[in-house]
Structure 1
Amino acid sequence: MPDLAKVPVTIVTGFLGAGKTTLISHLIRHAGGRRLAVVVNEFGTLGVDGDILKSCAIPDCPADNIVELANGCICCTVADDFIPTVERLLALDPRPDHILIETSGLALPKPLLKAFDWPAIRSRITVDGVLALADAEAVAAGRFAPDLAALEAQRAADPGIDHETPLAEVFEDQLACADMVLLTKGDLAGAAGLAQARAVIAQTSPRAVPIVELAEGAADPRVILGLNAAAEDDIAARPSHHDGADDHEHDDFASTVVPLGEIADPAELAARIERLAREHGVLRVKGHVAVAGKPMRLLVQAVGARVRHQYDRPWRPGEPRAGQLVAIAERERLEPQTIRAVLAA
């Protein structure tokens, strides 16, 4: 007899560098017997997150169950990319018990929710829940949730300001769509920062949702999976800055890919990335590089001036020891030639 039960889908959203890939990597390793499938929607042309997840595939979530969509936001390419991908996953034998979707850090989750109403998949899958990851240190600092009173004062002083900054809009839309908020980087925020971040999220979110602190992606699947939210039936309760628009675009952001030869010193590369954040407004840098004399590939992940790097796997036989980094910034501040010059200096 065919299994007519809907396959639950968890949407993992959150701003750049909030820890989405780390969370999904943990869930893959601690699936509790669930057969998982993962869809990774990378912004730009360099699929770092998909590569990271495939490197930790296990029998309950083999590499074939991890699909990467790097052609833009999936809510903008529903018919061409998203629907065929979901149909392919549902046709797997055995069929996945649960599907995880990691959105681009710049994605608005509400248009993606609307895609679940498409007739081709409406009767076969359901949105178990939307998880919004928020960087506690960044939220506490007020980077993505500006004070409303201060904002209104600014509007009054400058009639040319008619909306929030793009970063704030993305953050607020992700919170508004969430069934649960996972607060990450608490070790960097400290107790006071965590309390402040909780207060900001509670004030910003249009409805009360659980807030769970998360360290290194180690979430208990019993807590975050099986929410049974059926979020596709609850879209009206999830307001967006873009409600009423026929579609949405990500013209506020752009990315550029920088090829790199072997480097001598990872610390020196990290210093260059920090310079890009401080002097040129680069929001995110990620990718991998080859270090001279090292058999392992160096994985680089940066959020603003906070840079992490670690060796993730050996270079494969015959694989070119060539590095690539993708840099993301607000479009008006993205300077590809400058970014290449700084990274390759």
Structure 2
Amino acid sequence: MSNLNKVPCTIITGFLGAGKTTLVRHLLGNAGGRRLAVIVNEFGDVGVDGTLLKGCGDESCPDENIVELANGCLCCTVADDFAPTLDVLLARQPAVEHILIETSGLALPKPLVQAFNWPAIKGRVTVDAVVAVVDGAALADGQVAGDLAALESQRAADPALDHDNPLEEVFGDQIACADLVVLTKDDLLDAAGQARARAAVERALPRGVGIIPAVEGRVSPDLLLGLGLATEQDIENRRTHHDAEEDHDHDDFDSVVVPMPPVADAAALTARIEALARDHGILRVKGHVAVIGKPMRLAVQAVGGRVNQYYDRLWDKFEERQGKLVAIGLHGFDRAAVAALLAG
């Protein structure tokens, strides 16, 4: 079957906190008449990214077209989760015209792209492109994500540790499969920082790939959608760290989901999140909270000690104003202490 008869899918991959959900929100709000669907692969016990996308009020992608897969990294559960989800979305009426797949921060995109060659799938969908979203501010500081300077110093000082940082391997695998790279947080960098970030991406790229700088996910859909690359037909030529492995695990990471009561002071919440990165090595915090006296929901996105908060939508009239934050860190962090600090 010609690719023209298949529903195109854009795989959006990227490390924790790079800005994938922000980019997807922008695409939903600027769909240009396309009928979209979104598959969100959440890391953790309860989905959060999906709630940041639902309720945005865009007719191009109603809430029922946003599906959360929270049973684990999609690259590991593709057979159990991905194929059945496609069945559901492709049966929607009116018909879905383009599917966005937001992978978890730890996902290796290659197994997912390879699944598009499965007999039960390949006749119906195609990979329009793989878009890697990378944190320009972190790259400018010489890191793949967040504030990992303390971890890197510990690793370098201990010759008994494995010197192949798993975070860097994940980053390398995502870049290796990319058709386009979106370099986020460009506004946080001066010209020298922008040059360092771009150079870091170029060093990781195995071939010529376009690099698009972005602020708050504002990239024209014309640059990212409708590319028609059929990446699944070329995926075996994209070499990654894990090509020799049958599968991989995520034992290096752990997460805790924290129900959040309404907060009186958003600035105090920011200070607590900054303390998580400083005192407990937390890499990522994301979710939403209710702020006392405010009619809108406060979305929270934090990478290391950098915290971004914004009011994303009004609370529904009959919706319980119950917040929820997910904290993600290296395996072994004190989950109870992190939850207590986060909840205040």
Same fold (TM over 0.5): yes
Contact 1:46 1:287 (C-alpha < 8 Å) held by counterparts? no
Identify if the C-alpha distance between structure 1 residues 157 and 319 changes in structure 2 by more than 3 Å, giving closer, same or farther.
closer
Q: Which residue of 2 aligns with 1:341?
A: 340
The answer to whether 1:31 aligns with 2:27 is no
Matches within 5 A, 1:141-290: 141-144=141-144, 160-290=160-290
- The CA RMSD over aligned residues, in Å, is 2.1
Identify if the C-alpha distance between structure 1 residues 343 and 161 changes in structure 2 by more than 3 Å, giving closer, same or farther.
closer
Identify if the C-alpha distance between structure 1 residues 29 and 283 changes in structure 2 by more than 3 Å, giving closer, same or farther.
same
Identify if the C-alpha distance between structure 1 residues 116 and 216 changes in structure 2 by more than 3 Å, giving closer, same or farther.
same
- Residues 15-39 of structure 1: per-residue CA shift (max 9 Å, x gap): 1111111111111121122111111
Q: CA deviation at 1:102?
A: 0.5
Contact 1:87 1:121 (C-alpha < 8 Å) held by counterparts? no
- Residues 69-112 of structure 1: per-residue CA shift (max 9 Å, x gap): 11111121122211000111111222211111001111111111
Q: CA deviation at 1:113?
A: 1.1
Identify if the C-alpha distance between structure 1 residues 336 and 231 changes in structure 2 by more than 3 Å, giving closer, same or farther.
same
| Alpha-carbon distance between aligned partners in 2 of 1:290 and 1:188, rounded to the nearest angstrom | 27
Contact 2:109 2:173 (C-alpha < 8 Å) held by counterparts? yes
Identify if the C-alpha distance between structure 1 residues 277 and 119 changes in structure 2 by more than 3 Å, giving closer, same or farther.
same
- Residues 218-245 of structure 1: per-residue CA shift (max 9 Å, x gap): 1112211222221111122222211121
Give the letter for the 1:320 counterpart: E
Q: Which residue of 2 aligns with 1:151?
A: none
| Alpha-carbon distance between aligned partners in 1 of 2:47 and 2:18, rounded to the nearest angstrom | 17
Contact 2:38 2:102 (C-alpha < 8 Å) held by counterparts? yes
| Alpha-carbon distance between aligned partners in 2 of 1:296 and 1:133, rounded to the nearest angstrom | 28
Q: Secondary structure of the equivalent of 1:175?
A: helix
Give the letter for the 1:170 counterpart: V
Identify if the C-alpha distance between structure 1 residues 238 and 264 changes in structure 2 by more than 3 Å, giving closer, same or farther.
same
| Alpha-carbon distance between aligned partners in 1 of 2:85 and 2:93, rounded to the nearest angstrom | 15
The answer to whether 1:42 aligns with 2:42 is yes
Q: Secondary structure of the equivalent of 1:144?
A: coil
| Alpha-carbon distance between aligned partners in 1 of 2:64 and 2:170, rounded to the nearest angstrom | 31
Q: Secondary structure of the equivalent of 2:189?
A: helix
Q: CA deviation at 1:162?
A: 4.5
Q: Which residue of 1 aligns with 2:323?
A: 323
| Alpha-carbon distance between aligned partners in 2 of 1:254 and 1:274, rounded to the nearest angstrom | 18
| Alpha-carbon distance between aligned partners in 2 of 1:319 and 1:32, rounded to the nearest angstrom | 30
| Alpha-carbon distance between aligned partners in 1 of 2:265 and 2:190, rounded to the nearest angstrom | 31
Give the letter for the 1:8 counterpart: P
What stretches of structure 1 of length at least 5 have no aligned partner? 146-153
Contact 1:130 1:231 (C-alpha < 8 Å) held by counterparts? yes
Give the letter for the 1:113 counterpart: V
Q: CA deviation at 1:48?
A: 2.1
Q: CA deviation at 1:214?
A: 1.2
Identify if the C-alpha distance between structure 1 residues 229 and 253 changes in structure 2 by more than 3 Å, giving closer, same or farther.
same
Q: Secondary structure of the equivalent of 2:67?
A: strand
The answer to whether 1:91 aligns with 2:94 is no
Q: Secondary structure of the equivalent of 2:263?
A: coil
Q: Which residue of 2 aligns with 1:20?
A: 20
Q: Which residue of 2 aligns with 1:291?
A: 291
Identity %: 61
| Alpha-carbon distance between aligned partners in 2 of 1:61 and 1:156, rounded to the nearest angstrom | 47
| Alpha-carbon distance between aligned partners in 2 of 1:230 and 1:236, rounded to the nearest angstrom | 13
| Alpha-carbon distance between aligned partners in 1 of 2:232 and 2:126, rounded to the nearest angstrom | 7
Identify if the C-alpha distance between structure 1 residues 279 and 99 changes in structure 2 by more than 3 Å, giving closer, same or farther.
same
The answer to whether 1:313 aligns with 2:309 is no
Please identify, of 287-296 and 22-31, the stretch whose mean Cα deviation from structure 2 is larger: 287-296
Q: Which residue of 2 aligns with 1:114?
A: 114
| Alpha-carbon distance between aligned partners in 2 of 1:200 and 1:78, rounded to the nearest angstrom | 30
Q: CA deviation at 1:41?
A: 0.7
| Alpha-carbon distance between aligned partners in 1 of 2:7 and 2:251, rounded to the nearest angstrom | 33
Q: CA deviation at 1:163?
A: 4.5
Q: Which residue of 2 aligns with 1:69?
A: 69
Q: Secondary structure of the equivalent of 1:257?
A: strand
| Alpha-carbon distance between aligned partners in 2 of 1:323 and 1:226, rounded to the nearest angstrom | 36
Q: CA deviation at 1:258?
A: 1.2
Q: Which residue of 2 aligns with 1:149?
A: none
Give the letter for the 2:96 counterpart: P
Identify if the C-alpha distance between structure 1 residues 25 and 344 changes in structure 2 by more than 3 Å, giving closer, same or farther.
closer
- Residues 265-317 of structure 1: per-residue CA shift (max 9 Å, x gap): 11111101001101111011111222223333222111111112222233333
Contact 2:56 2:313 (C-alpha < 8 Å) held by counterparts? no
